[in-house]
Structure 1
Amino acid sequence: MENPKIKVVFVCLGNICRSPMAEAVFKSLVKEASLEEQFEISSGGTGGWHTGERPHSGTQAVLKLNQVYLDPQKRAQQVNSVALRQADYVVALDQENAAALKRLGVESRLLLSYCDNGHPLDVPDPYYEQNFDVVYDLVRDGCQCLLNEIRARHGL
């Protein structure tokens, strides 16, 4: 019997900026490590007003600039507490969304809490500030730290 996949879900507010960026970056890092068969990676938003929309053009642009593949079928979705409880890692992009998840009865951990390098705990929402390059750097660092921890914990 094969080992079950490690389920990782990234969560932000609308699932159009930060969490789809984290999903794509984490998938890229997992692929670079030749661990695709070990993971099931997705993302969602605590709010549902963007459901069905493609990721923000700023997210698409920064991923393209950094040569990170974004699935052209990716559409925003609202998180489901039942599905989240089946995940091994529920990763919130900021404290506001971690609190929203807690209200749903779902425990999460902040992406940047996996790093021990002086980063702030929250990944800022680039929706209004348009600081997608700064957000990308934080997400990339956080995803690498998360992958390092998962590899150590699961012996990958």
Structure 2
Amino acid sequence: MMSTAATTPRYRILFVCMGNICRSPMAEAVTRSMAQREGLAGLLETASAGTHGHYHAGEPPDARALRVGARHGYDLSKIRARRLIEADFDRFDRILALDETNLAILQRLCPEERRAKLGLFLDYAPELGISEVPDPYYGAESGFERVLDLCERAARGLLAACEHGQLAR
């Protein structure tokens, strides 16, 4: 991969799910870690939020997300749940929902002139043939393993798009 020179654009990416304790923090941590490992850390900033984040505001990710992430070398321990705020639509270059329901919520909340920033995280892994990262909250830890795998696959595509200047703004 190419190095990130000072002239390389910096992308701010926000991952969004419902409560910001499972999927979106995993997407945030995976993408950030992969960028660091590939020498692309200066290329992007990642964060996460929830459309219903007030339920868990200030809480760390779900214990199962923390365990699964740690087993695979991803540190989610510093992430704290927060709710999406209006300023996020201005601050971030891309706002990626983890499922169609949260994308629909984002589309309703987002000012029309900013809607081009919205998308689905799995759009960066079209080879999967699916658009949604399933919510693992009410299931077993194996569901978190599946989420991690999907996040890794989408993060690879997202980083490639960033590196090649193909990330829509």
Q: TM-score, normalised by structure 2?
A: 0.84
The runs of at least 4 aligned residues of structure 1 exceeding 6 Å deviation read: none
Contact 1:22-1:139 within 8 A present in 2 as well: yes
Name the SS of the counterpart of 1:52 in structure 2. coil
- Structure 1: give runs of 5+ residues left out of the alignment: none
Inter-partner Cα distance in structure 1 for 2:25 and 2:85: 16
Correspondence 1:135 to 2:147: yes
Task: Kindly tell me the number of residue pairs found equivalent between the two proteins.
Answer: 153
Q: What does residue range 71-150 of structure 1 map to in structure 2 within 5 Å?
A: 72-105=77-110, 107=115, 108-130=118-140, 131-150=143-162
Correspondence 1:58 to 2:64: yes
Inter-partner Cα distance in structure 1 for 2:95 and 2:147: 19
User: Cα RMSD (Å) of the superposition?
Assistant: 1.7
- Structure 2: give runs of 5+ residues left out of the alignment: 1-5
Alpha-carbon displacement from aligned partner over 1:10-48 (angstroms, at most 9, x marks no partner): 000000000000000000111012122222210000002
Inter-partner Cα distance in structure 1 for 2:166 and 2:158: 12
Contact 2:32-2:45 within 8 A present in 1 as well: no
Match of 1:152 in 2: 164
Inter-partner Cα distance in structure 2 for 1:116 and 1:94: 14
Match of 2:18 in 1: 13
**Which amino acid in 1 is paired with 2:145?**
D
Contact 2:98-2:120 within 8 A present in 1 as well: yes
Name the SS of the counterpart of 1:10 in structure 2. strand
Match of 2:75 in 1: 69
Farther-moved stretch of structure 1 (50-59 vs 105-114): 105-114
**Which amino acid in 2 is paired with 1:125?**
D
Q: Percent of aligned pairs with the same residue?
A: 35
